[in-house]
Structure 1
Amino acid sequence: MTEPNYSACTSMLVGKNATVDGSTLIGRNEDAKAAWPKRFVVHEHQVATDRVVFQSTANGFQLELPAEAAKYTATPEWTDSEGLFEEEGINEHGVAMSATESTYANDSVLGCDPLVKDGIGEEAMVTVVLPYVKSAREGVKRLGEIVSTKGASETNGILFSDAQEVWYFEIGSGHQWVAQRIPDDCYAVIANQMAIEKVDFNDQVNFQWSQGLEQFVTNNHLNPDRHGFNFRHIFGTRTQMDTYYNTPRVWYGQKMVNPEIEQEPTSQDLPFLRKSSRLLSATDVQMLLSSHYQGTEFDPVGTGSEFDKHRFRPISFAKTQESHVLQLQADLPVEIGGIHWLSMGVGAESTFVPFFAGISETPSAYQYPVGHDYDPQSAYWNFKLVGILADAHYHRFIDQVNDVQAELRQGYRQIINQTQSQVATSNDLVALANQASNQAAKLALSRFQALATQLITDSADLSPLNYHQDLNL
C-alpha cells in the first residue's frame, strides 16, 4: 500500500452534558496548505424556480438538489478551481456540520468496495447537505443516502450537531459508512484515523449505518476480531504513519481533558469516547485545536531534544488554513444561541472570533481574497501575517501574541454576554447578530493589525546582518 500524502485535520466533538453551559460543541482544524486563503460567507435562504444540479469542479460529482435551501454560513476557498471546500457552517435550523476529517481505509476493504472516482468528496459535502437538513440526525441520513447511492471518492469523517445531539459519521469505503451519536456526557478527539469502535446494530437511536454493512463485512471475510463488530478494526489502518502522525494528537487531546489517565502517545488502542474530568467550554476546544504538545518533550518550539521535538505531528501547525468551533445552545434562539467561532490561519497564533448564526452578512475583510497572494484587505492574511512575523523570532514574540489572544477572549465574552442579554427585548435578532458579530470581527482585526505593526517595528533591529560595535576599540 502506498502511504497517502498526509495533510489533514484534527477534530473534537462534545456532548451537551459535558459542557459548562449545556451547549453542544464540534470543532476542527482545516489543514492543507500553508498559504491557501479562506473566505467566510453567508448563503441566504433560497427557493429555486428551476431544476438545481450541483456539479463538482474537482471530480465531476453531480447531484440534483432540492429547490429550497436554508441559510447557512460557510468558509470556501479563495478559488473553486479545485472544488468549493465550504468546510463548515451553521444553518438557519440550528444544524452545524464540519467536513471533513480525512481518514484512511485498508487495502482489503477497498479491494472489496473501491472508492468512486466521481463520488462525493470533501469539497462538496457541506454544500449539498447542510442547506437541506433540519437536525443533526437528518444530516447523517442525507449524507448516508448520497454515499450509498452515488459513492464516495474519499474516506472521511464528518461532524454533525444540533442543540441536542452530536454525531460523528465515517465513510469506510466506496459505499459503506457508519455514524455514532456522541453520548451527552462524553467527548471525542479524532486525528485522521477511523475512530468509531463497537457498532451496536440493535441500537438505531445511537447508530446509523449503510444498508447491508454487516453482510458486506461477513461476505468478504473482513472482520479480524473473533467477536463483535469494531468499525475501526475492520475498515481502518494500523500503520507506522498512524503511530507518529495520528495517534499522538488523540493522546494529547485526551491528556488535556483527562490528565489523570496514563496512556502512550503511540498507542493504537486509544478509545474513541471519553468522559471528561471537568466540564468543557468552547474555549477548551479552541485551546485543543491551537495546541502543539505544550508541556511535553514533543513540543516543536519547546525544550525537548531535537528528535523529540520533531517526532510527532502537532495539532496546530503551519498548514492550518482555518480552525472553527461550532457552538449550539438550546435555551436561546438559533440566531444568537448558535456561534460560529472562526480562527483564520494557524490557531496557535490567531484568534477564534465569534460570529452569531443569525448573521445575514460577513465583514468585507472576510469575503476577500479574490486571489491567492498576500492581500492586506483580507482577514485571512491579516491573521496569517502575525503568525509569520512571530515565527521569525518565536520565543521573543509569542508572549505578545498570547497577551493579545487573552485580551480578545475577554472582549468576546463581554460582547456575547451583552448580546445574549438583549434577546428578550430585541425585535430583530438578525440585526442584533450582525451588530455583535461585526463588533467582534472589528475588534479582532484592529488588535491584530496593531500587533503586526508592533512586531514589524520590534523586528527592525533583529537582522542577522546586524553589527554591534565595541566602543572601547
Structure 2
Amino acid sequence: MVTKKYSACTSMLVGKKASLDGSIMIGRNEDSKAAWPKHFIVHPAGDLPEQFVSKDNGFSLKLPAHSAKYSATPEWTDKFGLFEEDGINEFDVAMSATESAYTNNNVLAIDPLVKDGINEEAMVTVVLPFIHTAREGVARLGQIIAQFGTGETNGILFADNDEAWYLETAGGHYWVAQQIPTDSYAVISNQLSIQTIDFNDHDHFMYHPEIESFVADNHLNPQPETFNFRQIFGTHDGSDAVYNNPRVWSGHQKFSPKKAIDEEPESNNLPFIMKPDQLISITDVQNYLSSHFEGTAFDPIGPGDSTDKHKYRPISLAKTQESHVLQMNRPTVNIHWLAMGVAAQSVYVPFLANLSETPAVYQRGKSTYSPQSAYWIFKLVGVLGDSHLHQFWPQLEKTQNEINLSLRQSIVAIDQELGKLDESQRVSLANKKAKELSDLALTQYRSLAATLITQATDLSPLNFKTDENL
C-alpha cells in the first residue's frame, strides 16, 4: 500500500448566482512548504510532448496530439515533479489541483492506492490543456484515475463560464464529482467532502461507472438506504475535528452566519453545499483564503490565550506557497488572481486569462532567497512582519489595503478598455497590464521591506535605554 505525507490546502467554489457580479470562482491555498518557491508561467499551444512521464512517481500517459495554451504555477524545480497546480486554458476552462484528503482503511484494504498512478503533481498538466469545458475536465480526469489509478486521495476544482465542479478521488481507482449549484458555494479542508450522490441526476453528478457495485459487493456502506460518499470513503477521526472541520466552520460562519448559527467548529457533520446569506464578492473569497480565525479566540496571532490560539489549524499559514482565485464568467476577460507566498501577508495580483506571457519576476526564484523573485519579495515582507508582529503588521495591512484598492480600480479601467479592442490587441493589453499591475504590487512591497528592515535595526534585545543614543 502507498503511504506518503500529503500537502494540505483549503479550497472554495462559488456558483454564478451566489456571487456579487455573476462570476464563477474557484480558489485554493497551495500549502506544502514554507520556503519552496512557485513560478507563474503560460504554456503556448502545442507546448507539451507526446508522452508525459512523471519525475514524481513514474506515471506515464500518452497525450493528445495538440495541447491548448494555459497558465500554470509550477514548482521552481521539476526534480520532484511539476506540480502546476492551477490555471486557465485558452478555452476559458479553469482547474485547480489538488485538495489533499484521506480514504479510510476499510476502502484501502480492498482498493489500495496505486504507486505509479496519476497524482497531484501531474493532474493539471495532463488534463487542463486538453479540455473545452469543466464537465469535460471531470470526465477526462475520472477516466484516467479509473484506468491507471492514483497514489493519493484528492479533491480537484474545475470551472468554465457556465458551471463549477468538484471531483474527489477515493481508494486507488474510484471517484465522484458534483456540480456546485449556481446559487451556492462550498468550502473544503483536507477531507472528503461530497455527501449524498444522486445516481439518477446526471446533470449534477458524475462518478466512476462501477462505484455503486464496488460499495455494495464489498459491504462498505454503513447506511445502505442512501449513498453518502464522505461517510463511505472518508475519515472521521480526531484530526478531522481539530485540523479540518474548523476551517469549514469558519467559512460557514463568514458566508452563512444565519444558517450556520448552530454549527460547532469540531463537528463531523458540516454540510458540503451551502447557500450564502448574501452574495459573495471576489474580495470575500480572497479574504477567506487569507484568514486565520480573526475575531475569535482561535486566531494564532490574536489576543487569546495560548491554548485557544493553537487549538485549530488556520486557513492561511506559513506553509502556503501560493494562493489563487480563478474568476470565470466575467463580461470581458476572465482573471487568474495570484498571491505568492502566504495569502495573509501577500496580495492577489490580477492576471488576465488571455495573456501570452508572464512577467519575468514571476518566473524566477529558487530555494534560497532572491530579491529578483516575486515569490521571495512577498515572502520577505511576511518574515519581517512576523519578526515584530505588533509593530509591523499594521503597516503591512495598510500597504495591502492601498494595493488592493489600486488593483481593483485598475481592473475597472481595463474592463472599459477591453471593449474597444480586437483579440490581438486584447492579448497585448493583457501582457502589458500583467507587468504593470505586478510592478505596482512589487514596488510597494519592496518599499515596505526597506522600511521594516530600517525600523527593525533598533528593535534588538541588545539595547539598554539610558539616553536616546543608547
Do they fold alike, i.e. is TM over 0.5? Answer: yes
What percentage of residue pairs aligned between the two structures are identical? Answer: 56
By how many angstroms is 1:295 displaced?
0.5
Question: Any conservation in 2 of the 1:164–1:330 contact (CA below 8 Å)?
Answer: no
Question: Any conservation in 2 of the 1:103–1:194 contact (CA below 8 Å)?
Answer: yes
Equivalent residue letter for 1:97: M
Match of 2:463 in 1: 466
Question: Any conservation in 2 of the 1:8–1:30 contact (CA below 8 Å)?
Answer: yes
SS in 1 for 2:419: helix
Q: C-alpha offsets along residues 239-274 of structure 1, whole Å, 9 cap, x if unaligned? A: 111111100110111111122322100000000010
By how many angstroms is 1:47 displaced?
7.1
SS in 2 for 1:415: helix
- Looking at structure 1, the residues matched to 316 and 419 of structure 2 have their Cα atoms a distance apart, in angstroms, of 39
Equivalent residue letter for 2:103: A
- Looking at structure 1, the residues matched to 133 and 281 of structure 2 have their Cα atoms a distance apart, in angstroms, of 22
SS in 2 for 1:342: strand
Question: Any conservation in 2 of the 1:426–1:432 contact (CA below 8 Å)?
Answer: no
Question: Any conservation in 2 of the 1:345–1:384 contact (CA below 8 Å)?
Answer: yes
By how many angstroms is 1:329 displaced?
2.2
Distance 1:301 1:465, change over 3 A: same
Match of 1:178 in 2: 176
Equivalent residue letter for 1:372: S
Distance 1:47 1:293, change over 3 A: closer
Match of 1:341 in 2: 337
SS in 2 for 1:251: helix
Match of 1:359 in 2: 355
Distance 1:240 1:426, change over 3 A: same
Q: C-alpha offsets along residues 267-315 of structure 1, whole Å, 9 cap, x if unaligned? A: 0000001000111111111100000000000000111111000000000
Match of 2:117 in 1: 119
The 5 A counterparts of 1:95-134 are 95-134=93-132
2:80 pairs with 1:87: no
Match of 2:69 in 1: 71
Equivalent residue letter for 1:293: F
Match of 2:28 in 1: 28
By how many angstroms is 1:460 displaced?
1.0
Distance 1:454 1:47, change over 3 A: closer
2:322 pairs with 1:326: no
- Looking at structure 2, the residues matched to 5 and 269 of structure 1 have their Cα atoms a distance apart, in angstroms, of 26
- Which piece of structure 1 moves more, 71-80 or 461-470? 461-470
By how many angstroms is 1:3 displaced?
9.7
By how many angstroms is 1:172 displaced?
1.0
- Looking at structure 2, the residues matched to 3 and 366 of structure 1 have their Cα atoms a distance apart, in angstroms, of 33
Match of 2:255 in 1: 257
- Looking at structure 1, the residues matched to 419 and 290 of structure 2 have their Cα atoms a distance apart, in angstroms, of 35
- Looking at structure 1, the residues matched to 55 and 7 of structure 2 have their Cα atoms a distance apart, in angstroms, of 21
Distance 1:434 1:47, change over 3 A: closer
2:277 pairs with 1:282: no
Give the TM-score of the pair, scaled to structure 2.
0.97
From 446, 450, 471, the counterpart of 2:447: 450
By how many angstroms is 1:424 displaced?
2.2
- Looking at structure 1, the residues matched to 4 and 283 of structure 2 have their Cα atoms a distance apart, in angstroms, of 32
- Which piece of structure 1 moves more, 201-210 or 1-10? 1-10
Question: Any conservation in 1 of the 2:2–2:114 contact (CA below 8 Å)?
Answer: no
The 5 A counterparts of 1:157-236 are 157-236=155-234
- Looking at structure 2, the residues matched to 392 and 417 of structure 1 have their Cα atoms a distance apart, in angstroms, of 36
Question: Any conservation in 1 of the 2:56–2:81 contact (CA below 8 Å)?
Answer: yes
Question: Any conservation in 2 of the 1:15–1:25 contact (CA below 8 Å)?
Answer: yes
SS in 1 for 2:247: helix
By how many angstroms is 1:414 displaced?
1.5
- Looking at structure 2, the residues matched to 310 and 219 of structure 1 have their Cα atoms a distance apart, in angstroms, of 43
Q: C-alpha offsets along residues 368-412 of structure 1, whole Å, 9 cap, x if unaligned? A: 02x311011000000000000000011111111111111111111
- Runs of at least 5 residues in structure 2 that lack an aligned partner in the other structure: none
Distance 1:47 1:385, change over 3 A: closer
- Looking at structure 1, the residues matched to 116 and 437 of structure 2 have their Cα atoms a distance apart, in angstroms, of 41
- Runs of at least 5 residues in structure 1 that lack an aligned partner in the other structure: none
- Looking at structure 2, the residues matched to 420 and 315 of structure 1 have their Cα atoms a distance apart, in angstroms, of 31
SS in 2 for 1:68: coil
Question: Any conservation in 1 of the 2:2–2:112 contact (CA below 8 Å)?
Answer: no
SS in 2 for 1:112: coil
- Looking at structure 1, the residues matched to 7 and 312 of structure 2 have their Cα atoms a distance apart, in angstroms, of 14
Distance 1:435 1:470, change over 3 A: closer
Q: How many residues align?
A: 464
SS in 2 for 1:142: helix
- Which piece of structure 1 moves more, 346-355 or 436-445? 436-445
- Looking at structure 2, the residues matched to 295 and 258 of structure 1 have their Cα atoms a distance apart, in angstroms, of 16
From 436, 440, 443, the counterpart of 1:439: 436
Equivalent residue letter for 2:175: W
By how many angstroms is 1:33 displaced?
0.5
Distance 1:7 1:311, change over 3 A: farther
Equivalent residue letter for 1:67: A
Equivalent residue letter for 1:345: G
Q: C-alpha offsets along residues 59-88 of structure 1, whole Å, 9 cap, x if unaligned? A: 000000011111000000011111100000
By how many angstroms is 1:455 displaced?
0.6
